Amino acid sequence: MKLNVVVLAALAVLTCAPWRVCSEKSEEHRLLVNMTLVRNASTVGALCLDGSLPAYHLHRGFGAGAKNWLLQFEGGGWCNDVESCLDRAETRRGSTRYMTKLEVFSGILSNNASLNPDFYNWNRVKLRYCDGASFAGDAIFDNGTSLLYFRGQRIWQAIIHDLLPKGLGMARKALLSGCSAGGLASFLHCDNFTKYLPANASVKCLSDAGFFLDARDISLNHTMRSFYKDLVSLQCFFPQYALRFIQTPFFILNSAYDVFQFHHGLVPPSADPHGHWNHCKLNPAACDANQTAILQGFRRDMIVSLFSFFECSERGGMYINSCFAHCQSESQDTWFGIDSPRIHNKTIAQAVGDWYFSRRVTKEIDCAYPCDTTCHNLIP
């Protein structure tokens, strides 16, 4: 299964689906940050799928934020077999050779206080994703004609070791974040991250659209589970099972109707060969009553699997809204703006800031679709 290809197609739809407002409003204020290659990474075998050097983008903090660090894992699907990983190795998802050298820093990565009130003056780092497995693999495929590096774990370590002497090692506050495949990486590396920082530092982690449910699809198949099994041949990969083992304070940001999970986990093309769901996938208002009921069931499953976190995690935070979205912390529109999504009149940026700085307990669960009118800008 070439899910990574599907994922890229899905993300393209996401940025410009007909029911989405596709705007580049703040084009003129875009902050572009240069790529830093980790030059000595090859000495520890920390290489992208194709053998290229791993990389990150660092924008320095200043003022009161000069000693605080935000690390953001880039997302972008996965590859789960040799064929799909070979394809990926020749794209920006598997090689720094094909990546843009200048990255836009927006949303949680913005340096503008009026766009990112709590983290704008921190050191902000985007970790580029080029291993195909959420920075988690450690293997090599080599059959004589084809060579692939599955070195996500080493890439993570090499980037951390590069950043420690740049100030990360003396951080006062830190937040490890990430979206989608990067949100999963944030779950997986959260406690490991904490161990590299001073014992008196305040360290927390955030997963955006990384809460992948171990749910059945509409044909009752375990599509997501078998995909991950191929990916890591590891059973307990799902955040819903890993969550209770994480010691570091954690924030879960997710839509209850996460578009990626909807399109690839709940209703994968294999489970809907006649395309009965095509209209509903592109426009939630076009879903019939049965389809809506299935989506409500998915939301219920997600909330149930978060229940003990909601009830028992004293230092945890959550924001489960009901917008059809995937990744809401990186784009300005959804992170913090006049018409950004809100729960109880609180934007995602405010909720994450309130939780990080312990201003108040932040565990927000939205009412079920279609009640949330702050999502109106996503649907015609």
Ligand X SMILES: *[C@@H]1O[C@H](CO)[C@@H](O)[C@H](O)[C@H]1NC(C)=O
* Contacts (Cβ under 8 Å, ≥6 apart) of 77: 3, 4, 6, 7, 8, 11, 93, 180, 181
In this structure, what token pair is assigned to residue 267?
């209703």
Q: Is the dihedral of CA 311, 206, 239, 248 positive or negative?
A: negative
8 A C-beta contact, residue 298 and residue 262: yes
Residues 213-242 that bind ligand X (CB under 6 A): 219, 221, 226
Nearest to residue 378, comparing CAs of 339, 320, 335? 339
Choose the catalytic residue: 50, 208, 258, 366: 258
Closer to ligand X by CB, 14 or 216: give it: 216
| Whether 186 contacts 207, CB under 8 Å | yes
Which of 92, 172, 216, 229 is the binder for ligand X (CB under 6 A)?
172
112 part of the interface to ligand X, by CB under 6 A? yes
Among 37-45, 121-129, 227-235, 372-380, the segment contacting ligand X (CB under 6 A): 37-45
Cα 175 to Cα 209: distance, rounded to the nearest angstrom: 16
Number of residues that bind ligand X (CB under 6 A): 38
Taking CB under 6 A as the rule, which mask of x and - marks residues 360-379 in contact with ligand X? --------------------
Give me the helices (H) in 1-78, please.
3-16
Instruction: Give the active site residue among 52, 84, 180, 305.
Output: 180
Q: Give Cβ neighbours of residue 13 (< 8 Å, ≥ 6 apart).
A: 282
State the nearest-atom distance from the C-beta of 319 to ligand X, in Å: 15
Shortest approach of ligand X to residue 295 CB, angstroms?
14
**Of the candidate residues 165, 247, 274, 371, the single one contacting ligand X (CB under 6 A):** 165
15 binds ligand X (CB under 6 A): no
Minimum CB separation of residue 194 from ligand X in Å reads: 9
Question: Quick one: which of 103, 162, 258, 333 contacts ligand X (CB under 6 A)?
Answer: 162
For the CB of residue 112, give the shortest distance to ligand X in the complex, in Å.
4
Question: Per-residue contact track with ligand X, 84 to 103, x per CB under 6 A?
Answer: ------------------x-
Told to check if 359 binds ligand X by CB under 6 A, we report no
* Cis preceding linkage at 370, omega within 30: yes
* Residues in 261-300 that interact with ligand X by CB under 6 A: 270-271, 288, 290
Whether residue 26 lies in the annotated active site: no
CB of 208 to ligand X, least distance (A): 21
Instruction: Tell me how far, at minimum, the Cβ of 306 lies from ligand X, in Å.
Output: 25
- Residue 124: closest CA among 209, 82, 65, 49: 65
180 is catalytic: yes
Q: Which residues of 272-311 are buried (b: 16+ CB within 10 A; e: fewer)?
A: beeeebeebbbbbeebeeebbebbeebbebbbebbeebee
**Can you name the residues that pair with 328 across neighbouring β-strands?**
none
Query: Please, what sign has the CA dihedral across residues 244, 248, 249, 250?
Result: negative
Give catalytic status of residue 331 as yes or no: no
The two structure tokens encoding residue 171: 């951080």
- H/E element holding 85? helix 82-88
Distance CA 294, CA 275 (A): 16
Site for ligand X in 60-79 (CB under 6 A): none
Q: Which of 57, 189, 263, 326 is the catalytic position?
A: 326
Interaction pattern, residues 335-354, with ligand X; x per rule: CB under 6 A: ----------x---------
Please report, as ranges, the residues that interact with ligand X according to CB under 6 A: 26, 29, 34, 40, 43-44, 82-83, 102, 112, 114-115, 143-146, 153, 157-158, 161-162, 164-165, 172, 192, 195-196, 198, 200-201, 219, 221, 226, 270-271, 288, 290, 345
The residues annotated as belonging to the active site are 180, 258, 326
